[in-house]
Amino acid sequence: MQMTMIQALRSAMDVMLARDDNVVIYGQDVGYFGGVFRCTDGLQKKYGKTRVFDAPISEGGIVGTAIGMAAYGLRPVVEVQFADYFYPACDQIVSEAA
């Protein structure tokens, strides 16, 4: 059976959400809307609003919050919608996660 990349990513997130209650998915429009490419489509309905939820439009804020979540034992999976938007988040990874 062949899968698209989106289907493979959704399947992997579904498996991890089912296996580990500490996994959360966080990003712009990933909750009800299912993400800009529908990568998280249906996951909020299946796992609830406390495990799959939306973030404000701030890539640095998304990644910074994920770093804090990880420091407290959660296992966040974040979505930054496009590669161009990843660069504003890099400061959080370089300066805070390190």
pLDDT of residue 97 exceeding 80: no
| Per-residue confidence (pLDDT) for residue 41, from 0 to 100 | 96
Q: What architecture does CATH give domain 5-97?
A: 3-Layer(aba) Sandwich (3.40)
Confidence class for position 83, pLDDT limits 50, 70, 90: confident
Q: State the Cα–Cα distance between residues 35 and 87, nearest whole angstrom.
A: 19
pTM: 0.87
* Assigned token pair, 56: 């404000």
pLDDT of residue 66 exceeding 90: yes
Phi, psi (deg, nearest 5) at residue 48: 95, 165
The contacts of residue 23 (CB under 8 Å, 6+ apart) are 13, 16, 17, 51, 74, 75, 76, 77
The contacts of residue 95 (CB under 8 Å, 6+ apart) are none
Confidence class for position 15, pLDDT limits 50, 70, 90: very high
- Taking only the tens place, the pLDDT of each residue in 23-44 is 999 999 999 999 889 999 999 9
Report, as an integer, the average pLDDT of 75-82. 92
pLDDT of residue 9 exceeding 80: yes
Task: List the domain boundaries for the chain.
Answer: 5-97
